Amino acid sequence: MIKFDSVTKAYNKVLALNNVNLEIHKGEFLSVVGQSGAGKSTMMSLIIGEERPDEGQILIDDIDIAAIRAKDIPYLRRKIGVVFQDIKLLPMRTAFENIAFALEVSGEKPSMIQKEVPKILEMVGLEEKSKAFPHEMSGGERQRVAIARALAHKPVLLLADEPTGNLDSINAWEIIQLLLKINKAGTTVILATHAKDIVNSVKKRVITLENGEVVYDQEKGKYVL
Amino acid sequence: MTKTITTRRVVRSAVTNFFRNFWVSVAATSMVAITLFIISTILVLYTLAVLSISNSQDKVGVITAYFNDKTTDQEMADIKAEVELLPNVREVIFISHEEAERRFRERHKDNSILISSLSEFEKPVQASLSIRSEDLNNYEGLYNELKSQRYSAYFDRVSDTRVVIEKLSRIIDFITKFGIILALIFMAVTVMVTFNTIRLTIYNRREEVEIMRLVGATNWYIRWPFIIEAMMYAVLATLIVSIVAFGLLYLLSGSIEEFLSLDSLGTNLINALFSRIVIVNILASLGLSILASYIAIRRYLKI
Ligand SMILES: Nc1ncnc2c1ncn2[C@@H]1O[C@H](COP(=O)(O)OP(=O)(O)OP(=O)(O)O)[C@@H](O)[C@H]1O
Ligand SMILES: [Mg+2]
């Protein structure tokens, strides 16, 4: 479903990705590991069209992202959910409203939003926190709201860039379980992380980046560095 | 359906922005209002000057010669007959001082001080001859003839409307030049202030904008609230200035009419001026604020 074909990306003179070839299949759960600065986040930015490759192509369902017009990028982003280490919830809105926000943006009717948001909240196990503001929730709960928001448009692909970075190991583990559950329901998941024990216990495909290059690509892989 | 929902959301977002930085919004609106007030003032002055010019132009070709107090009625009649025989004279109308006084009282009927002062003079308002020339090109000759030795014993002064018109033209010139410069300066300042205000709003909402992009908001969904917020400054400023302008025009209409000696135009004049002010204000303010917010968006709203 996603194909990196000889992709190179540099910021000014810093080489972030160097000749990356990679194929990610529908329904896969892919962990991307590597040291800080290895190029994990850059991969994510390229997939959502936030950055453009300097060389090579990125194909999503055989469509070259570089060929997508700027005005169509928003529609691509509705098909791809994203979550980050720094969660990015709106502080003045409740859990419900934060999720509703994603649906409002795409012009959904209020009645549809009222019906849909509770379902999404239930999926991430936060029915009870519907009316809570971000500052009234734990880090793990906040991240689950962010995941719920990323799922609002029923994306085919979920990108999680160090979603557990700020969480203790119990909360982190809950988030990983949630991502696995989402994957099981059919969504392709790409997880970028530093956490060795997480990657090892997931037992799914792992690719390892080093200085912008793919150095390992293992089915049921381990964190090798 | 989706379109109206989206429009409602975008407008609501703009209104929220407006009130979230209430005092900044008030300051921006005031700046727009000050500029509109200046533009309106210039517009009113210009219109009135043009109006009074065309008013005087009706009288072009009419030379008014005022008799001095020593001239007797018989002399006046003789002079009138004589002037009628001068070359290039089409018509001579005699206005006795009783008639002139009646007209004066009529014109200044609201000004009791002026009226009461009339009685302090024996012949307060001068009798005169209104001489219409046959041909505007030979007007100068007729004017010089009336100013000559022959008539200097009878005429106190000979007035020529062209002088008045020249003076008015100079006033219009002045208003146009300085008015345009002043208006341009204030318009530039308004654009800068609005630009900065919108930039501030964008900065305050940078998190929300980032999230909107992440969840797939279209560019215009993200941009419109900022443009609408700037349009709100424009509409509010127009509303305020229009109300003030209407009040001032209404209060000053009497003096304006008197100054221009317009007795018939009255409310028509005010209505025409008022609607012109409203149209110019709404166009100017919307134009300026859309321009300013668009520049701010292009520079600070990374899509
Ligand atoms: N916007 C940017 N401008 C300039 N250089 C950048 C930018 N983003 C990333 N880089 C550089 O590109 C390289 C790859 O960065 P990237 O963020 O992809 O790494 P990462 O693997 O996500 O690291 P981390 O684990 O710390 O998040 C780094 O050297 C980084 O300094
Ligand atoms: Mg990163």
Residues in chain A with CB shorter than 8 Å from the CB of B1 are 109
Structural domain boundaries, residue B228: 2-56+165-300
To the nearest whole number, what is the mean pLDDT of chain B? 85
Structural domains counted in chain B = 2
ipTM of the prediction: 0.89
Among the listed residues A66, A38, A71, A69, the one whose alpha carbon sits nearest the alpha carbon of residue A52:
A66
Residues A82-98, mean pLDDT to the nearest whole number: 94
User: Do B142 and B268 reside in the same domain of the chain?
Assistant: no
Give the 3-state secondary structure of residue B292: helix
CB B36, CB B30: distance < 8 Å: no
The confidence score (pLDDT) of residue B59 equals 62
Is the minimum CB–CB distance between A104 and chain B shorter than 8 Å?
yes
User: Do B76 and B133 reside in the same domain of the chain?
Assistant: yes
Residues in chain A with CB shorter than 8 Å from the CB of B9 are 104
Q: pLDDT of A113-140, one tens digit each?
A: 999 999 999 999 999 999 999 999 999 9
Residues in chain A with CB shorter than 8 Å from the CB of B4 are none
Query: What's the pTM value of the predicted model, to 2 decimals?
Result: 0.79
Of B160, B193, B215, the one marking the end of a domain is B160
The confidence score (pLDDT) of residue B263 equals 52
User: What is the Cα–Cα distance from B263 to A14, expressed in whole angstroms?
Assistant: 80
**Which of B9, B211, B303 lies nearest to residue A88, judging by beta carbons?**
B211
What does the domain layout of chain A look like in residue ranges? 1-79+155-225, 92-154
Q: Which of residues 146-175 of A touch B (CB under 8 A)?
A: 149-150, 152-153
Count of alpha carbons within 13 Å of A89, Cβ hemisphere only? 29
User: Do B85 and B199 reside in the same domain of the chain?
Assistant: no
The confidence score (pLDDT) of residue B51 equals 78
Bigger pLDDT: B250 vs B292: B292
User: Do B82 and B218 reside in the same domain of the chain?
Assistant: no
User: What is the Cα–Cα distance from B78 to B71, expressed in whole angstroms?
Assistant: 11
User: What is the Cα–Cα distance from B22 to B70, expressed in whole angstroms?
Assistant: 72
Q: Is the pLDDT of residue A223 over 70?
A: no
SS (H, E, C) B137-159: HHHHHHHHHHCCHHHHCCEEEEE
User: What is the Cα–Cα distance from B51 to B38, expressed in whole angstroms?
Assistant: 20
Q: Is the pLDDT of residue B133 over 80?
A: no
- CATH number of the domain residue B155 falls in: 3.30.70.3040
User: Do B40 and B98 reside in the same domain of the chain?
Assistant: no
The confidence score (pLDDT) of residue B58 equals 63
B62-67: strand order across its sheet: B89-95, B128-133, B62-67, B155-160
Q: List all residues 6 or more positions away from A95 whose beta carbon is below 8 Å from its beta carbon.
A: A121, A126, A129, A130, A131, A132, A133, A134, A137, A141, A145, A148
Q: pLDDT of B190-242, one tens digit each?
A: 999 999 999 999 999 999 999 999 999 998 899 999 999 999 999 999 999 99
User: Do B52 and B186 reside in the same domain of the chain?
Assistant: yes
CA of A40 to the centre of ligand 1 (A): 8
To the nearest whole number, what is the mean pLDDT of chain A? 92
Provide the CATH topology of domain A1-79+155-225.
Rossmann fold (3.40.50)
Q: pLDDT of B16-75, one tens digit each?
A: 989 988 999 999 999 999 999 999 999 988 888 887 777 666 666 678 888 888 888 888
Q: What residue of B is the nearest CA neighbor of A101?
A: B212
User: Do B30 and B129 reside in the same domain of the chain?
Assistant: no
Q: List all residues 6 or more positions away from B270 whose beta carbon is below 8 Å from its beta carbon.
A: B249, B250, B253
Residues B158-180, mean pLDDT to the nearest whole number: 80
Q: Are strands A188-193 and B128-133 parallel, antiparallel or unpaired?
A: unpaired
Of B160, B188, B223, the one marking the end of a domain is B160
The confidence score (pLDDT) of residue B47 equals 84
User: Do B296 and B177 reside in the same domain of the chain?
Assistant: yes
Among the listed residues A96, A172, A158, the one whose alpha carbon sits nearest the alpha carbon of residue A127:
A96
Of A96-105, A172-181, B88-97, B274-283, where does mean pLDDT reach its minimum? B88-97
User: Do B31 and B79 reside in the same domain of the chain?
Assistant: no
The percentage of residues in chain B with a pLDDT greater than 70, rounded to a whole number, is 87
The confidence score (pLDDT) of residue B301 equals 86
**Which of A71, A90, A110 lies nearest to residue B211, judging by beta carbons?**
A90
Bigger pLDDT: B233 vs B108: B233
Of B117, B144, B160, the one marking the end of a domain is B160
